[in-house]
């Protein structure tokens, strides 16, 4: 009888995922292993058994026996896809295009050391990647302070100049009048000036990857994403065919159900992004709009579930174009490639539907609360925006992780450990309000501003242009942070500047002049990336035009004429860091790329 690796895998299959009673040792979950198959191992298995048999016959018999031996030795069982097969054929094909179907998990003996197993299984050369499930954490896991009855009464009597939301006067992070008595520099995101330009964002869906948002909070309920097909469909039926039953406002990946369990962390974040404005209650939200014109927030409850990646796939497949994240891996320098693959899926596939405001997705992460210059994933990943925290005095919060890979700063307050009024005021579960601090609260400021910018320029902006506008819409805060220069990103996010950038005619935004439509982009490759001495730009077509290089704050660094398929750009004299490359040809076509100089 043929010794078939494929049928060995089949004998291990089961179809249920559960994260209950998970045990971690040194930041690694015990009892489960994860791997990505080589593409050819399962290629054509449904269409051509003979092709699979040919592959199996070509495998080294000794290695096949070694695999069987290791599975037996470590009590391997319950092989299953990490990203479950979609019942929607179109979605399943998209997942396969990005290789998500190649990821599998295998339960193993809990006495086995996962790091040792990774080495053992990697040595078989059957898998592209073997990894464990690494511990993930919120960047604020319980430090908050609820408003007292006295505070509620006092704040409700205040007179605000912009909206009639009674607590807006206490939201120093939006409009800092010095109400906290902190000097030297009142820090805020210049939100009043931003609202003068744009207030509505009802056409933008933001996914919140966290615990559950209180979808019934009176200050949030009008701005919660609603899956109309499920809302108006038959209970217990997957009415929209997306593979999830009754997912009216998102999904609970912890319990694999539509039931959303409200949590302070996610609810507080949601209020910063999209608490409804001018409704006469509570706080204001950056992109909250009024009378239902605010951003639509999708709640994705995944924390304590081992598969965060599915939340990005769900978000992209269901209309989200901006992803909010206030979590990190548990220790520096550690990440999961499967999670990065899922984030990449969101970045590429989000907005891939008719009428979408933007093709592709923007992903925002907080840097973490380690208070040190360390490498924290996924925030340090070049394709996401990393946000650190400052207080009401424009100074870096003591707890904030800082580094050269940080992209932006935003208000998070100094009050993470004491939960006082120097933290950020926002919504809390059960129709309440409270203070919380941390980089967790900084990231949603950038997400909220991004939603407003995207709503203003919808259909005419790419994710990279959106990122660029946010970076440019930042005020340098180095003078308040000696010793942290170039480690707090481009500076403190400024809503007005970000909203004005793409329509500005000043010299610093020459980036946008003569810009083409999104559909008229040039196709090219930038390599190597990162670069140390030089990089090359390769275009399949003859390129006749101009190359412009910008710093992350939107300043033009240099420009070059180009008249070839391949261009070489020296960066030996550049400071280390991230740069944007704008290429424009004489026909008006253009494209924006990023390059990291090391």
Active site residues: 210, 265, 440
Closest by Cα among 77, 142, 66 to 108: 77
Contact 189, 411 (CB under 8 A): yes
Contact 473, 493 (CB under 8 A): yes
d(C-alpha 376, C-alpha 404), whole Å: 12
d(C-alpha 206, C-alpha 215), whole Å: 14
d(C-alpha 182, C-alpha 176), whole Å: 10
Structure-token match 């092989």, residue found:
79
Closest by Cα among 494, 497, 496, 490 to 476: 490
Closest by Cα among 593, 592, 590 to 517: 590
Where do the DSSP E strands lie in 438-527?
474-475, 492-493, 524-527
d(C-alpha 35, C-alpha 581), whole Å: 36
β-strand pairing of 250-252 with 296-301: parallel
Contact 276, 222 (CB under 8 A): yes
Contact 456, 197 (CB under 8 A): yes
Q: What is the DSSP letter of 520?
A: G
d(C-alpha 201, C-alpha 277), whole Å: 12
d(C-alpha 351, C-alpha 364), whole Å: 16
Contact 133, 306 (CB under 8 A): yes
d(C-alpha 92, C-alpha 316), whole Å: 13
Give Cα separations from 415 to 4, 140, 375, 399, 444 (angstroms): 59, 11, 24, 10, 17
Alpha helix ranges (H) inside 104-148 = 114-122
Residue 590 DSSP SS3: strand
Query: Long-range pairs for 52-59 at CB < 8 Å and ≥24 separation?
Result: 52/6, 53/2, 53/4, 56/2, 56/4, 56/5, 56/6, 59/5, 59/126
User: What six digits make up the tokens of 144?
Assistant: 């908050």
d(C-alpha 553, C-alpha 545), whole Å: 24
Structure-token match 């990505």, residue found:
36
Give Cα separations from 259 to 84, 153, 229, 250, 296 (angstroms): 20, 34, 17, 9, 18
Which residues on neighbouring strands pair with residue 146, listed in sequence order? 434
The DSSP-derived string for 375-422 is --TTTT-TTSEEEEEE-TTSPBPTT----TT--EEEE--S-TTT--TT
């Amino acid at each position: 009888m043929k010794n078939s690796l494929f049928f060995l895998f089949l004998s291990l299959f089961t179809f249920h995922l559960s994260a209950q009673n998970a045990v971690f040792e040194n930041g690694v979950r015990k009892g489960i292993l994860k791997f990505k198959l080589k593409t050819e191992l399962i290629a054509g298995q449904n269409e051509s058994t003979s092709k699979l048999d040919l592959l199996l016959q070509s495998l080294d018999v000794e290695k096949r026996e070694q695999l069987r031996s290791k599975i037996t030795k470590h009590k391997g069982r319950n092989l299953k896809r990490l990203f479950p097969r979609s019942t929607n054929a179109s979605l399943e094909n998209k997942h396969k295009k990005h290789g998500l179907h190649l990821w599998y998990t295998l339960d193993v003996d809990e006495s086995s050391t996962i790091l040792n197993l990774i080495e053992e299984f990697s040595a078989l050369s059957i898998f592209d990647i073997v990894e464990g499930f690494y511990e993930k954490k919120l960047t604020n896991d319980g430090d908050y302070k609820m408003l007292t009855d006295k505070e509620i009464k006092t704040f409700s009597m205040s007179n605000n100049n912009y909206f009639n939301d009674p607590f807006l006067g206490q939201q120093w992070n939006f409009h800092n009048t010095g109400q906290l008595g902190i000097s030297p520099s009142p820090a805020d995101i210049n939100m009043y000036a931003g609202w003068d330009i744009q207030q509505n964002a009802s056409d933008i869906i933001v996914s919140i990857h966290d615990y559950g948002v209180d979808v019934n909070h009176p200050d949030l309920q009008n701005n919660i994403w609603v899956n109309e097909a499920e809302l108006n469909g038959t209970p217990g039926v997957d009415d929209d065919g997306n593979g999830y039953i009754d997912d009216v406002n998102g999904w609970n990946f912890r319990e694999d159900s539509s039931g959303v369990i409200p949590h302070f962390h996610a609810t507080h974040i949601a209020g910063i992004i999209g608490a409804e404005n001018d409704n006469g209650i509570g706080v204001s939200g950056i992109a909250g709009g009024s009378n239902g014109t605010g951003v639509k927030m999708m709640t994705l409850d995944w924390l304590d579930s081992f598969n965060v990646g599915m939340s990005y796939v769900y978000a992209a497949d269901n209309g989200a174009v901006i992803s909010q994240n206030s979590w990190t891996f548990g220790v520096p320098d550690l990440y999961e490639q499967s999670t990065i693959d899922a984030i990449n899926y969101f970045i590429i596939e989000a907005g891939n539907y008719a009428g979408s405001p933007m093709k592709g997705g923007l992903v925002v992460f907080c840097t973490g609360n380690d208070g040190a210059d360390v490498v924290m994933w996924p925030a340090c990943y070049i394709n996401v925006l990393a946000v650190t925290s400052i207080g009401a005095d424009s100074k870096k919060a003591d707890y904030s992780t800082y580094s050269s890979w940080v992209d932006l700063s935003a208000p998070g307050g100094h009050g993470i450990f004491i939960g006082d009024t120097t933290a950020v005021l926002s919504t809390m579960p059960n129709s309440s309000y409270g203070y919380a601090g941390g980089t967790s609260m900084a990231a949603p400021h950038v997400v909220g501003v991004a939603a407003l910018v995207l709503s203003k320029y919808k259909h005419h902006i790419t994710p990279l242009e959106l990122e660029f506008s946010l970076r440019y819409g930042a005020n340098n805060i180095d003078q308040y942070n000696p010793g942290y220069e170039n480690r707090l990103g481009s500076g403190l996010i400024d809503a007005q500047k970000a909203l004005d950038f793409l329509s500005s005619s000043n010299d610093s935004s020459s980036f946008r002049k003569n810009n083409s439509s999104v559909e008229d982009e040039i196709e090219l490759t930038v390599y190597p990336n990162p670069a140390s001495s030089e990089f090359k730009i390769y275009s399949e077509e003859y390129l006749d035009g101009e190359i412009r290089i910008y710093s992350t704050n939107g300043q033009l660094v240099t420009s070059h004429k180009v008249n070839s398929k391949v261009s070489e750009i020296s960066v030996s004299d550049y400071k280390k860091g991230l740069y944007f490359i704008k290429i424009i040809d004489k026909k008006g076509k253009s494209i924006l790329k990023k390059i990291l100089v090391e």
